[in-house]
């Protein structure tokens, strides 16, 4: 009986230790919405060596992962945080392991979201038409410059979302949400919206920025005629929020 109890304790310790999120290999599995983050994972986090394209730096980071559910064609990744008495920021990176191969990690996007004073902050990223054998990772940097009580308060109100599902209405040609509609045409993207987008960037799936434009005029058309054939991520920005859209250049 004692040996059995010891075995259970050892297995439990190994399982818990393997899901600290401190490295890609120890990434915390997520399959659902609004999973509360674990304060201990962030306070014990160390810097990893995974490269990134955004400003960073990623000092103490925590990794989460989501293997695609069977039959799914849509993946949603996001975070939500309630605000504090000071402005704070979460840097994050979404990574793709093609076929689950972590030795070939590819950056999908690297960005951040602000948590406004006494308000909140969040981001949502939707990916469709993926390989069902792929595994996606969310890398979250521990917010810097906050005293321990403020950091603890921020993390206690922060959640992570990673889930995949089958969406019968999904189309690679058109994505429509409340804020905007994007129509994918052979040589340009048509934007239908009442929002005023001030700039955009286009990234390849390996994280390289292939085009960036800042404009004072309303963006309603984006020229993609010079892009090579492939899958890209469009990042649209207005004065407060960022919107991501995955598209195919045929």
Is it the case that residue 168 has pLDDT exceeding 60?
Answer: yes
- CATH of residue 207's domain is 2.60.40.3080
Q: Can you tell me the mean pLDDT for 54-79?
A: 89
Domain boundary among 165, 195, 221: 165
Same domain, 61 and 145: yes
Q: Pull the structure tokens for residue 153.
A: 């308060």
Binned at pLDDT 50, 70 and 90, residue 73 comes out as: confident
Binned at pLDDT 50, 70 and 90, residue 97 comes out as: very high
Is it the case that residue 93 has pLDDT exceeding 90?
Answer: yes
Burial of 92 (0-12, 13-18, 19+ CB in 10 A): buried
pLDDT for res 103: 92
N-term to C-term CA, the chain: 64
Same domain, 86 and 145: yes
Task: Please indicate, yes or no, if residue 216 is contained in any of the structural domains.
Answer: yes
Looking at 89-93, 177-181, 210-214, 235-239, which range is the least confident one?
A: 177-181
Higher-scoring residue by pLDDT: 122, 214: 122
- CATH of residue 138's domain is 2.60.120
Range of the domain at 30: 25-165
Same domain, 133 and 188: no
Task: Please indicate, yes or no, if residue 16 is contained in any of the structural domains.
Answer: no
Task: Please indicate, yes or no, if residue 204 is contained in any of the structural domains.
Answer: yes
Residue with tokens 């948590």: 115
Same domain, 143 and 49: yes
Q: Strand ranges (DSSP E) for the chain? A: 28-29, 32-36, 61-67, 74-82, 88-97, 106-115, 120-128, 135-141, 158-165, 174-176, 180-184, 188-193, 199-204, 209-214, 221-223, 230-237, 242-249
The total of structural domains in the chain comes to 2
pLDDT for res 65: 96
Q: Pull the structure tokens for residue 215.
A: 């404009």
Looking at 13-17, 95-99, 101-105, which range is the least confident one?
A: 13-17
Same domain, 54 and 150: yes
pLDDT for res 175: 42
Task: Please indicate, yes or no, if residue 18 is contained in any of the structural domains.
Answer: no
Same domain, 65 and 131: yes
Task: Please indicate, yes or no, if residue 41 is contained in any of the structural domains.
Answer: yes
Task: Please indicate, yes or no, if residue 103 is contained in any of the structural domains.
Answer: yes
Same domain, 58 and 130: yes
Is it the case that residue 10 has pLDDT exceeding 50?
Answer: no
Task: Please indicate, yes or no, if residue 117 is contained in any of the structural domains.
Answer: yes
Q: Can you tell me the mean pLDDT for 153-164?
A: 94
Domain boundary among 135, 165, 195: 165
Give the model confidence (pLDDT) of 169-188 as tens digits.
Answer: 554 444 444 467 788 888 88
DSSP 102: G
DSSP 166: -
Give the model confidence (pLDDT) of 100-138 as tens digits.
Answer: 999 999 998 899 999 988 888 999 998 876 788 999 999
Same domain, 161 and 200: no
Task: Please indicate, yes or no, if residue 9 is contained in any of the structural domains.
Answer: no
pTM: 0.65
Same domain, 97 and 157: yes
Same domain, 151 and 34: yes
| Nearest CA among 76, 59, 84 for reference residue 156 | 84
């Amino acid at each position: 009986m004692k040996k059995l109890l010891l075995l259970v304790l050892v297995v439990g310790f190994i399982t818990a230790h393997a899901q600290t999120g401190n490295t890609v290999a120890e990434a915390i599995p997520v399959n659902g919405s609004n999973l509360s983050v674990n304060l201990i994972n962030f306070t014990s986090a160390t810097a990893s060596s995974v490269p990134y394209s955004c400003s960073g730096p990623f000092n103490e980071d925590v990794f989460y992962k989501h293997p695609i559910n069977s039959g799914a064609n849509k993946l949603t990744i996001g975070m939500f945080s309630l605000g504090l008495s000071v402005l704070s920021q979460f840097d994050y990176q979404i990574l793709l392991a093609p076929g689950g191969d972590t030795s070939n990690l590819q950056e999908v996007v690297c960005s951040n979201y602000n948590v406004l004073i006494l308000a909140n902050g969040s981001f949502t990223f939707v990916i469709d038409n993926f390989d069902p054998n792929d595994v996606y990772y969310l890398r979250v940097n521990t917010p810097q410059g906050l005293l321990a009580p403020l950091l603890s308060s921020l993390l206690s109100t922060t959640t992570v979302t990673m889930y995949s599902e089958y969406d019968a209405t999904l189309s690679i040609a058109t994505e429509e949400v409340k804020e905007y509609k994007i129509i994918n045409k052979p040589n340009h993207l048509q934007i239908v919206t009442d929002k005023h987008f001030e700039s955009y960037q286009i990234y390849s799936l390996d994280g390289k920025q292939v085009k960036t434009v800042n404009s004072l005029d309303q963006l309603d058309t984006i020229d993609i005629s010079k892009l090579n054939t492939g899958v890209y991520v469009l990042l649209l920005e207005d004065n407060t929020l960022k919107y991501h859209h995955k598209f195919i250049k045929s």
